[in-house]
Each structure stands twice: as structure tokens, then as C-alpha cells.
Structure 1
Amino acid sequence: MSHTHHDHDHHHNIDFKTSFTVTPEPGSQVKIAGEIPFSELEEEREAAIKHLGASLKLDGFRPGHIPTAVIEKHLGEMTILAEMAERAIGHMYPHILEAHAVDAIGYPQISITKIAAGNPLGFTATVAVMPTITLPDYKQIAKTTNLGKESTDVTDADVEKQIADILRQKMAYDRLQAKAAAKNVAQGIDEPADLPTPESEQAKVVETEEDFSKLPLPELTDDLVKTLGQPG
């Protein structure tokens, strides 16, 4: 027998937002927890007994026509309460998801935490949710990754290498300038030399690059530091 939902509009007097909590769980799951007032549970009693009675076979009664009192006595209050609870949770669950904007996948795993006649029904429902995809925060990752390293290991070595590179570049530049100036003097040109043109120096490029890393470093004096980064 199909069960209609239109007679359950009274559920809307529960504040699903405040009556239930939703806690994120590992593995893209959430755990819903809360209580359903007993008055709401009681609303399910008639339907629960009717449902249980439909499949009950008792001598002297036609199936589906067993009086309520007989069903209650035969099945016991706990069985009826459990059926009421299942139905109440089934009706509440979609409203809870909606109120908390839970994007659930599949069926929830329900655990009854409190059930007794005349008491609110306590339960939890654990359900898988759509994983939220967030782009990684690269700055944060870099910061975290570098936390493990001692900063001195990285920076001092880097700075030294950079200074050495600058000094070598400056020396190479000075040498080229000196060569060009000497050439100009030999040719009787008085103007300050520009950097040699690529054509004229092409043959020497390889030689210069090879020598580049072998150049001895000049002593790092204040005067030299002042000239760093200034050509010539």
C-alpha cells in the first residue's frame, strides 16, 4: 500500500535548522544528529500499526483486519515504537537535508540513540555528501613545505650564490669593456666604448662563458658593493 506524504505537513512546525546539527566527518561524509519530539512520533502510530498488522498472520483473523489492541499485544510496544521511529525519521530526513543545505549521496546510515515511550526520539544519520572541490592555496602550501627547512640553510647559500654570480657578471662585463676600450684606443677612437657588437665578439662568446664560472672572485669591499648593479 503506497504511503502518501500530504498528511505530514505538521512536521513543518519543527525548526529543522536548530533541532538538528550537521557535523562534517572524514571521507566526505556528514553526521546529522538531533531529536524528534514524542508528539511527532505519536503521529506515526496509526500508520505504523496498520503497516505491521498488514503482514501479521494470526489464527482466527484475516490478514489486514486484526484489531489494533491485538496487534499491540502481540508485537509489543518496542516493535511498534521502532516502526514509528523509522517512519518519523523517513519523513523528517528530507526536511533536515533541505534546512542544512546538505548535498547527500545515497542512503543514510541511521542509528537510534534514544527511544522510549513518551520520550523524544534521538537519532544520528551519517551520509556521504558531494565532495567540495577547493583549489589548493599554493602560497600556504609553499609556506607549510618550507616550515620544515631551516631558513638559514636556504637563504644564506642562495644569497652567496647570487652575490658570486653578480660579481662574476660584473667582472666579465668589465673585461669586455676593457677589451673594447683597448681596441678603440688602438683604432684611435676616443669615445667611451659601447659593449662590443655580437658579430665582433661571436668567436669569443664560448671562451667568455667557459671562463665565466672559473673567474676568481674579487674581494667584497664597500666600494665594490656600491658599484654592483651599475654597469661599468
Structure 2
Amino acid sequence: MSYKVENLENSMAKITIEVSPEAFEEAMVKSYNKNKAKIALPGFRKGKAPRKMIEKMYGPEVFYEDAANFAIPDAYEEAAKESGLEIVSRPDIDVEKIGNGEPFVFTATVAVKPDVELGDYKGVEVEKQEVKIMAADVNAELAKVQEQNARTVNVEDRAIKKDDIAVIDFEGFVDDEPFDGGK
């Protein structure tokens, strides 16, 4: 596997990755093994047709999509590690060249961590804004926190009052007959 990195504008990079024909052939074998059970050829039981016969009947392209899906993740991960790029996005993959006995070439366009150059920030003065906190603001915030953390307490020795939470078990009747949704 070989790769080439091209830095683009706006903190983007394009990695062109070339997978060797041998590695792509391994991916083609995996693709064949995955798909052979779905392919039926005259004269062969379903799933028993040899790869060469399937490729002759449907063309080698029948296995390319899955082969690419097998080859891309490993090759991309290896190229990303070796390149040393600080990648911050998922890759946008484009297949450039695919074929039997040829290198498999694809590009991965990714966002990378931008190079940030700090300006002269030493000696910069900032006006500190004075904030006045009133006792009423503190009390209101404390009441809010207390309300958020409050727990309910079961009270059974008095009647229901305003702001109490009650669980009521009832059954409704119309003309001495229970009605739907009245329970």
C-alpha cells in the first residue's frame, strides 16, 4: 500500500491511497465468499459456482463493491496513521481506479486540525466588568436549586392541600355502568 497526501485549503486534506493488486485480490476473494451463496448459475447448485464462472457470466465488476468495502477501511486507517495527520472528520471516499490485476486507487478527503498561529496577545488589557449580586438574586437561585432537589414526602394524616401531589384510584360510572377510560 502506498499513499500521497495533498493539503487543501480550509484545513482539508486529500489522501490518495493505492492498494496493491495482491491485497485487492484478497478483498475480491472475501467478496466472492460473501456473495457466492446468493448467485445461481445454470449447471451449478446455488452457492457452488466457481468464481471464474461467475465473473465470466456477470463480469468481474460483480464483486468490486464489496471488495472495495473490504479493502478501504484497513488501507485508509493505515495511511491515516502513517501520514501523521490529525484527522477530525469522517473521510469522503472516492474510488479512482478499480480492476482485476491492477492496483486499487481511492481518495479520502478529510478535515484536519488547523494550524493556528497566535498573534501578539501579551500585554493586551481587558476591562473587568463589575458585577453586582443582589441578595434577592442569591435567594431566588437558592430557592430554584432547592425546588429542583426537593423530594416528595408521604403524608397520610391530613387532608389534601394546595400544591400537594395526590395519587387517586377511581372507577367512573354512567347510569351505574362502568365506562371506557373511566378506570
Indicate the TM-score class for this superposition, using the shorter chain for normalisation: 0.5 to 0.7
Q: Which residue of 1 aligns with 2:68?
A: 85
User: Does residue 135 of the first structure (1) align with residue 118 of the second (2)?
Assistant: yes
Q: Which has the higher helix share?
A: 1
Q: Which moved more, 1:34-43 or 1:52-61?
A: 52-61
2:49 to 64, 67, 85: 67
Secondary structure class of the residue paired with 1:113:
strand
Overall identity of the aligned pairs, in %: 29
Distance 2:87 2:37 in 1: 32
Is contact 2:3–2:79 with CA below 8 Å preserved after alignment? Answer: yes
Unmatched 5+ stretches in structure 1: 1-13, 139-232
Report the CA distance between 1:131 and its aligned residue: 2.6
| Aligned partner (choices 42, 62, 67) of residue 25 of structure 2 | 42
Deviations 1:23-57 (A, max 9, x none): 11122211001322211111212211122335557
1:94 aligns with 2:77: yes
Instruction: Give the corresponding residue for 2:163.
Output: none
Q: Which amino acid aligns with 1:106?
A: S
Conserved? CA contact 1:22–1:100, under 8 Å: yes
Q: Which residue in the other structure is 1:31 paired with?
A: 14
Q: Name the count of aligned residue pairs.
A: 119
The aligned counterpart of 1:103 is 86
Residue 113, structure 1, aligned to residue 108, structure 2 = no
Q: Counterpart amino acid of 1:92?
A: A
Matched residue, 2:149? none
Question: For the residues of structure 2 that align with 1:55 and 1:135, how far apart are their CA atoms?
Answer: 59
Equivalent position SS for 1:106: coil
- Higher relative CO (Cα under 8 Å, sequence separation at least 6) belongs to 2
Counterparts of 1:55 and 1:48 in 2: how far apart (Å)? 12
1:72-109 residue CA offsets vs partner (Å, 9 max, x unmatched) = 34542013134323321221111100001122233211
* Cα separation, partners in 2 of 1:127 and 1:57, compared to 1, 3 Å: farther
Q: 2:4 aligns with which of 21, 33, 44?
A: 21
Name the structure 2 match of 1:162: none
Q: State the SS of the aligned residue for 1:43.
A: helix
Distance in structure 2 (CA, Å) of the matches to 1:124 and 1:47:
22
Aligned partner letter, 2:66: E
1:194 maps to: none
Partner of residue 125, structure 1: 108
Structure with greater Cα Rg: 1
Please report the TM-score for the alignment, with normalisation by the length of structure 2.
0.53
Query: Which residue in 1 is equivalent to 2:34?
Result: 51
- Cα 1:44–1:135 change in 2 (3 A) is same
Per-residue displacement from partner, 1:176-210 (whole Å, max 9, x unpaired)? Answer: xxxxxxxxxxxxxxxxxxxxxxxxxxxxxxxxxxx
